[in-house]
Amino acid sequence: NEKIRRIDSATDKARAREKDSERLKVEENVFDVPTLKVLYTLSNKGIIKALGGSISTGKEANVFYAEGENRELAIKIYRMASSTFKAMDAYIMKDPRFTNIRNNRRDIIFAWTRKEFQNLTRAKSAGIRVPEPLVAEKNILIMEFMGEERVPYPLLKNTHLENEEAKLVYDKIVEYMHLLNKEANLVHADLSEYNILIDPADKTPVFIDMGQSVTLEHPNAREFLYRDVLNILRFFSRYGITDKPEDLLSKIQAE
């Protein structure tokens, strides 16, 4: 038994080391020389006053906290070495806004960054609460920091809600999905409790992560919308929301 425990603990340690070295690899990957040059330029322009800690390390991008001129910023850096950039193809090549992007990693990632900027801009003009996009430069997106005093708002996934509050949050999300569809002509395409933040002060949702969002003309737009609908209903079913996918769809597509 003691032996097994020791083996277990040895494997745990090896795993931890592995994880650590993966993390280091990721950090090496994110701050490659061209990316550092862009950050340097942005700091020379006074847009970034100080780069803070890491908020998140995702599949394709890292998000950092930063101080701007007189506001807090979130800096999303798409990793040039991202292994999932192939998946970006399917979203970007069929988007009428981005049909003439050359088919190489660099250009696809830069276009992806501009696309997220444009999607956030459109969502914001449609009246949806999203981080205000400020700069898109190569693989770097600078946006409004959604949080306070260096602490980002929690994900919907990690927010405790009473049933009553959950109903209000759900209604607001439905309103945003409707606005996104009807006013911004977009489908989020990765909407779930992982890409919605909750402002703790008034429990309003904030949509984030719109790199993959596509216009309604995209051949897979309906499929993406349906997936968003299922994700939202799956999450809110635990709070007693009983809408069927068709119910939510017709709310989103109502005139």
7 vs 151 by CB, closer to ligand ADP = 151
Q: How far apart are CA 248 and CA 181, in angstroms?
A: 13
Task: With contacts defined by CB under 6 A, name the span among 44-52, 146-154, 167-175, 181-189 that binds ligand ADP.
Answer: 146-154
Q: How far apart are CA 14 and CA 38, in angstroms?
A: 36
Q: What is the dihedral of CA 166, 180, 228, 116, to 10 degrees?
A: -110
68 vs 211 by CB, closer to Mn ion = 211
Q: Which of 89, 190, 199, 202 is catalytic?
A: 190
- Total binding residues toward ligand ADP, as defined by CB under 6 A: 19
Task: Assess whether 190 carries a catalytic annotation.
Answer: yes
Helix (H), strand (E) at residue 250: helix 245-253
Helix (H), strand (E) at residue 69: none
Q: Is 137 exposed, middle or buried (0-12, 13-18, 19+ CB in 10 A)?
A: middle
Report the residue from 146, 196, 232, 249 that binds ligand ADP according to the rule CB under 6 A.
146
Q: Which of 8, 171, 202, 209 is catalytic?
A: 209
Residue 232 in contact with ligand ADP, rule: CB under 6 A: no
Residue 166 in contact with ligand ADP, rule: CB under 6 A: no
> Is residue 184 helix, strand or coil?
coil
Task: Assess whether 247 carries a catalytic annotation.
Answer: no
- Smallest gap from Cβ 68 to ligand ADP, in A, equals 12
76 vs 138 by CB, closer to Mn ion = 76
190 vs 249 by CB, closer to ligand ADP = 190
Task: Tell me the sheet residues that pair with 143.
Answer: 74, 133
Q: Residue-wise over 34-65: b if at least 16 C-beta within 10 A, else e?
A: ebeeebeebeeeebbeeebeebeeeebbbbbb
Report the residue from 61, 108, 232, 249 that binds ligand ADP according to the rule CB under 6 A.
61
**Residues at the contact surface with ligand ADP, assessed by CB under 6 A:** 55-56, 58, 60-61, 63, 74, 76, 131, 143-147, 152, 155, 195, 208-209
The residues assigned a catalytic role are: 190, 209
